Amino acid sequence: MPLTNSQYDAIMRSYEEKQRAARYRLEKNTLEVYSKIPSYEELDRQAASISMAHGRRLLGGDRGALEELKKHLRELSERKAFLLRENGFPADFLTPAYTCEKCQDTGYVDNRKCSCFRAAEVELIYEQSHIKNLLKTENFDFLSYDYYVGDELEKFTKAVQICQNFVENFHLDYRNLFFYGTVGTGKSFLSCCVAKELMDRGNLVIYFSASQLFDTLSKSTFDRDSTEALSGISEDIYECDLLIIDDLGTELTNAFVSSRLFSCLNNRHMRKKATIITTNLSLGELRDRYSDRIFSRITSNYTVCKLTGPDIRMKKKTASASNRTGSFNK
């Protein structure tokens, strides 16, 4: 889901707090240095005085003033660094300590959102889509073949191998995955397994249910009030390392949805950005519900995996209920 205005404001307030904390640390450290090295404070005063004097010269047209200023400030900086070392202070003691050096805790670099801001946005998206909670139990550590037999086991085993190869060759070979088949056969589980592995390796993964994705794209297109909150989210959908679209077909499908789906898939394909799609639709239903060009895009550029078998979620619920009943009867 997209950020609300209040969430955007909350992120900006967190940056303001980081900046205040950095200023407080710097002021505290500066006072400590001044109390222990009085001559250091005098050098700071000289730097301010020299800067003002040379500034007036520059305004008066003195072309040599700038080079002289640089020379004086460099000499003062060297003397200040020597005083810090001589008195046992770290070289960076009076350097502002930012949590993000790229944006210096402003959230922006050259009027564009910093990667740390993007990470904060994605963090909120994950919280809203519950991807973090999913990844606690839906990862390769919880992989089980116990619910599959025969041809179903063969299909699932092959799909697992495809996922593992997808992860291992993620930065070497551009690929996409399309999981389809009956309900509860492990399609979403495998997409989460891939997401967990890639996130652990530092890749930016964005997970949306189909309805969440199209709601986000709709608001970014039509809702003027969401413009600021959605700033950058649409671009992240196209630019993130891996986009997962879960349960395609559960959304209300119309011409807008079909158009935006093709635009999303085509845009990511042109950028060679990987996408995973899961759906309970058959290939025939996929063709009927969406356009021929979407069907062609998926079948041509995605590794297609069909999963069949029992509804594992229902089996787990039944087993869990039986275990609880058994414990009550003891």
Per-residue pLDDT tens over the stretch 10-26: 899 999 999 999 999 99
Q: Decide if 2 contacts 230 (C-beta within 8 A).
A: yes
The amino acid present at 196, given as its one-letter code, is: K
Retrieve residue 263's tokens.
């635009």
d(CA 127, CA 236): 16
What per-residue confidence (pLDDT) applies to 16? Answer: 95
Domain shared by 201 and 288, yes or no: yes
What per-residue confidence (pLDDT) applies to 315? Answer: 72
CATH of the domain at 236: 3.40.50.300
Residue 261 lies in a domain: yes
| 2, pLDDT greater than 80 | no
Higher pLDDT, 167 or 127: 167
Residue 323 lies in a domain: no
Domain shared by 274 and 184, yes or no: yes
Task: Give the domain-ending residue among 55, 77, 108.
Answer: 108
Mean pLDDT value of segment 69-87: 93
Mean pLDDT value of segment 75-102: 92
Domain shared by 84 and 138, yes or no: no
Residue 273 lies in a domain: yes
Residue 291 lies in a domain: yes
Domain shared by 42 and 173, yes or no: no
pLDDT, one tens digit per residue, over 241-265 is: 899 999 999 998 888 899 999 999 9
Radius of gyration of the chain (CA): 28
- Give the predicted TM-score (pTM) of the model: 0.64
Domain shared by 19 and 145, yes or no: no
Higher pLDDT, 132 or 277: 277
Residue 120 lies in a domain: no
Residue 121 lies in a domain: no
Contacts for 198 with CB less than 8 Å, ≥ 6 apart: 167, 170, 205, 241, 242
What per-residue confidence (pLDDT) applies to 194? Answer: 96
Higher pLDDT, 152 or 235: 152
What per-residue confidence (pLDDT) applies to 131? Answer: 78
What per-residue confidence (pLDDT) applies to 62? Answer: 86
What range does the domain containing 41 cover? 10-108
Nearest Cα to Cα of residue 3 among 230, 318, 258? 230
Give the number of domains in the chain. 2
Domain shared by 167 and 305, yes or no: yes
Only one residue has tokens 């606690």, namely 136
Residue 69 lies in a domain: yes
What per-residue confidence (pLDDT) applies to 320? Answer: 57
| 328, pLDDT greater than 50 | no
Domain shared by 185 and 302, yes or no: yes
Domain shared by 102 and 141, yes or no: no
Return the minimum-mean-pLDDT range out of 123-127, 147-151, 183-187, 276-280. Answer: 123-127
Higher pLDDT, 315 or 89: 89
Domain shared by 191 and 63, yes or no: no
Domain shared by 171 and 238, yes or no: yes
Domain shared by 21 and 95, yes or no: yes
Residue 93 lies in a domain: yes
Domain shared by 27 and 97, yes or no: yes
% of residues, the chain, pLDDT over 70:
88
- The DSSP secondary structure of 126-181, one letter per residue, reads HHHHTHHHHHHHSSGGG---TT--HHHHHHHHHHHHHHHHHHHTTTTS---EEEEE
The region, left, alpha or beta by phi > 0 then psi within -120 to 50, assigned to residue 217 is alpha
What per-residue confidence (pLDDT) applies to 10? Answer: 86
What per-residue confidence (pLDDT) applies to 76? Answer: 92
| 239, pLDDT greater than 60 | yes
